[in-house]
């Protein structure tokens, strides 16, 4: 058995005639925290959706535990997804259910566990993210950071072997960011899972990731351990890691000549 | 030059019409597909009937107030108008039959369906649309829970169950409203009001036909609301447009189908 739990092999994906990924290769070894980084619109979240089988690649394949995801039927994909947990960018908590019910949701839907055991498991998961005391609250009563932590507890409710995080640090205050950052690493190690983080927050991601892929222009532009990437002299990686305004990724969106456009007579 | 412009304009218009027509047909197909999937994945709605009952509360019970108040006023107006016409022909005793047949055959199912589309249909569309916008449906899919089985089917059956009950209540309350105007207010004979109604309202021809109509309207209105929400673009504008479309399409569909059903029922 290969040591890689997820493998992306020569993957291309596009829609509406535009190719978003052009032959991407990635591997995600068991037990590691691997980050996929890149600018907004570079197709990072789409990669998570391809791994989860929500969309199919145009060319190439994604393998999860050796099974080609897009070749599975609906039952096969659902079987694979039971090994996955996913934290969505804004939590995606069910707004009509309480915090407790949200975490209990996958247990109730996918297992035949008795209610007493579900209760204990939910409280344990909530305790792990520090929100056992908030189990009666509704999602609308939670702060952004708390909602993200509840969503994390729900994502690991069934002890998945793969945990995917879609922009886990986006829009959080520094304290919440630190909390989520620590939780991702500690839950990954405690569960013996593999974590895939999609993010553009360099500092936090580099702190917990074992390996990082940089995606730009539809390809893997760079890859390596965070320490090596910090020292990288590759122009794109340097610009991204240090947050330079201009570089290989231009400040301006492609446009016509500035002067000519200003002098143009409006047609409407 | 002018000919060429005219030709281009005609081509553009025809292309636009063609695009709109194919889009409508595509949406009709997508709606039919969702309908069949909701039927196929209905097992969960009956196995865990509390899921459906919760939706019956949200769609049916929560619509009671508007249904009862409207029915009361519709019944009272019917009695006033009916008496005004019938007394010209010396048949004011037939007011009970007039009110009850109008309500049971037509106004009960039709007005209930129109009110249902405005009250419950819009709520269903907005809820499903927002669940999509906030990635709750995606989260469910990623948890290997089928959103059609868990979200769509229970709401569909709740609408189908609620509509005939609401229509029956509408007719009952409407008759009560008609009675209050006709007997205590106008002074029509109490016995004539009820006995003529008892003698002339047929269970199979009138009540069953009204029931069939309300079940059909239940299927149509609920399915339109569910599809509009499920198909809504995941933006604030998309959900708002979908909600409007629910009311417009449901209302037109109810009135059109009512004509067809009435024609068949009277012919048979």
DSSP letter string, B175-225: HHHHHHIIIIII---HHHHHHHHHHH--IIIIIIHHHHHHHHHHHHHHHHH
Residue A92 contacts B where some CB pair is shorter than 8 Å = yes
Distance from CA of A153 to the nearest CA of B (A): 13
Q: How far is CA B2 from the centre of its chain?
A: 51
Closest-CA distance, A204 to chain B, in angstroms, reads 24
pLDDT value at residue A137: 94
Query: A61 pairs with which residues across the strands?
Result: A9
Shortest Cα distance, chain B CAs vs residue A144, angstroms: 14
* B144:A105 CB<8 A: no
- At A174 the pLDDT is 84
Cα(B125)–Cα(B129) distance, integer angstroms: 6
Counting every residue, how long is chain B?
268
Given a cut of 80, whether residue B18 has pLDDT beyond it is yes
Residues A226-244: b if buried by 16+ CB within 10 A, e if exposed: beebeeeeeebbbbbbeee
CA A264 to chain centre: 44
Question: Is B34 within 8 Å of B232 (Cβ atoms)?
Answer: no
Residue of A nearest to B136 (CA): A92
DSSP reduced 3-state for A38: coil
For chain B, helix, strand, coil in percent to 5 are 90, 0, 10
DSSP letter at A246 equals S
Distance of CA A75 to the CA centre of its chain: 23
pLDDT in tens, chain A (268 residues): 568 899 999 999 988 778 888 888 999 999 899 999 887 778 888 999 999 999 899 989 999 988 899 899 888 999 999 999 999 888 899 998 999 999 999 999 999 999 999 999 999 999 988 889 999 999 999 988 889 889 989 998 998 999 999 988 887 888 888 888 888 898 888 888 999 999 888 888 888 899 999 888 888 888 889 888 888 778 777 787 777 776 666 666 778 888 888 888 776 5
- The packing angle between helices B122-133 and B153-180, to 10°, is 160
Residue position matching structure tokens 């990437």: A229
Q: Tens digit of pLDDT for each residue in B122-135?
A: 999 999 999 999 99
pLDDT at A177: 84
- Closest by CA to B256, choosing from B227, B229, B228, B216, is B216
Cα angle, residue B57 at apex, residues B52 and B63 outer, rounded to 5°: 130
A86 close contact with B: CB closer than 8 A:
yes
Instruction: Give the nearest partner residue to A90 out of B134, B145, B146, using CB atoms.
Output: B134
Q: Nearest 5°: phi and psi at B122?
A: -65, -40
Cα separation of the two ends of chain B: 61
Could you give the CA distance from residue A118 to residue B249 in angstroms, rounded to a whole number?
A: 43
Buried b (16+ CB within 10 A) or exposed e, B47-79: ebeebbbebbebbbeebeebbbebbbebbbebb
CA distance B101 to B83: 14
Helix (H, G, I), strand (E, B) or coil at A23: strand
For chain B, percent of residues with pLDDT exceeding 90: 83
Helix (H, G, I), strand (E, B) or coil at A18: strand
Rounded to a whole number of angstroms, the distance from the CA of B72 to the nearest CA of chain A is 33
Contacts of A88 in chain B (CB under 8 A): 135, 138-139
Which chain A residue's Cα is nearest to B135?
A92
Q: Is the dihedral of CA A5, A186, B139, A17 positive or negative?
A: negative
Domain ranges of chain A: 31-42+82-249
Fold annotation for A31-42+82-249: Rossmann fold (3.40.50)
Q: What is the mean pLDDT of chain A?
A: 87
């Amino acid at each position: 058995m290969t040591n890689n739990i997820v493998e992306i092999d020569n993957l291309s994906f596009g829609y509406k005639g535009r190719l978003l990924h052009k032959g991407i290769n990635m591997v995600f070894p068991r037990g590691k925290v691997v980050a996929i980084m890149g600018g907004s619109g570079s197709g990072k979240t789409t990669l998570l959706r391809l791994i989860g089988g929500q969309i199919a690649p145009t060319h190439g394949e994604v393998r999860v535990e050796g099974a080609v995801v897009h070749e599975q039927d609906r039952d096969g994909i659902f079987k694979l997804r039971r090994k996955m947990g996913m934290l969505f960018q804004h939590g995606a908590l069910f707004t009509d259910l309480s915090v407790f019910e949200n975490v209990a949701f996958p247990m109730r839907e996918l297992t035949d566990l008795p209610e007493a055991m579900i209760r204990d498991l939910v409280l344990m998961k909530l305790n792990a993210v520090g929100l056992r005391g908030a189990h009666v609250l509704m999602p609308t009563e939670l702060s952004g950071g708390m909602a993200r932590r509840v969503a994390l507890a729900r994502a690991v409710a069934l002890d998945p072997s793969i945990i995917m995080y879609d922009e886990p640090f986006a829009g959080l205050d520094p304290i919440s960011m630190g909390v989520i950052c620590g939780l991702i690493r500690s839950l990954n190690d405690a569960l013996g899972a593999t974590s895939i983080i999609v993010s553009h927050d360099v500092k936090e991601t580099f702190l917990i990731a074992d390996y990082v892929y940089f995606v730009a222009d539809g390809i893997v532009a760079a890859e390596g351990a965070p320490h090596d990437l910090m020292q990288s002299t590759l122009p794109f990686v340097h610009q991204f890691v240090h947050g330079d305004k201009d570089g290989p990724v231009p400040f301006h969106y492609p446009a016509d000549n500035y002067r000519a456009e200003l002098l143009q007579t409006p047609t409407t | 030059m002018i000919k060429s412009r005219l030709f281009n304009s005609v081509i553009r218009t025809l292309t636009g019409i063609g695009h709109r027509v194919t889009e409508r047909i595509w949406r009709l197909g997508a709606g039919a597909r969702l309908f069949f999937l909701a039927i196929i994945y209905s097992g969960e709605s009956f196995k865990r009937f509390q899921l459906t009952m919760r939706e019956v509360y949200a769609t049916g019970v929560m619509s009671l107030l508007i249904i009862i108040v409207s029915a009361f006023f519709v019944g009272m107006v019917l009695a006033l108008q009916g008496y005004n016409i019938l007394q010209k022909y010396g048949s004011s005793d037939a007011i009970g039959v007039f009110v009850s047949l109008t309500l049971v055959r037509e106004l009960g199912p039709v007005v209930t369906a129109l009110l249902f589309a405005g009250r419950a249909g819009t709520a269903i569309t907005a809820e499903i649309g927002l669940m999509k916008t906030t990635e709750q449906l995606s989260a469910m899919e990623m948890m290997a829970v089928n959103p059609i089985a868990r979200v769509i089917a229970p709401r569909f059956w709740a609408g189908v169950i609620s509509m005939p009950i609401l229509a029956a209540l509408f007719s009952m309350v409407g008759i009560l409203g008609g009675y209050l105007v006709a007997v205590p207010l106008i002074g029509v004979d109490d016995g004539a009001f009820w006995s003529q109604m008892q003698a002339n309202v047929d269970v199979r021809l009138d009540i069953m036909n009204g029931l069939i109509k309300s079940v059909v309207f239940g299927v149509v209105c609920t399915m339109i609301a569910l599809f509009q929400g499920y198909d809504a673009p995941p933006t604030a504008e998309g959900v708002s447009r979908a909600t409007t479309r629910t009311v417009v399409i449901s209302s037109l569909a109810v009135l059109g189908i009512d004509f067809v059903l009435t024609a068949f029922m009277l012919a048979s």
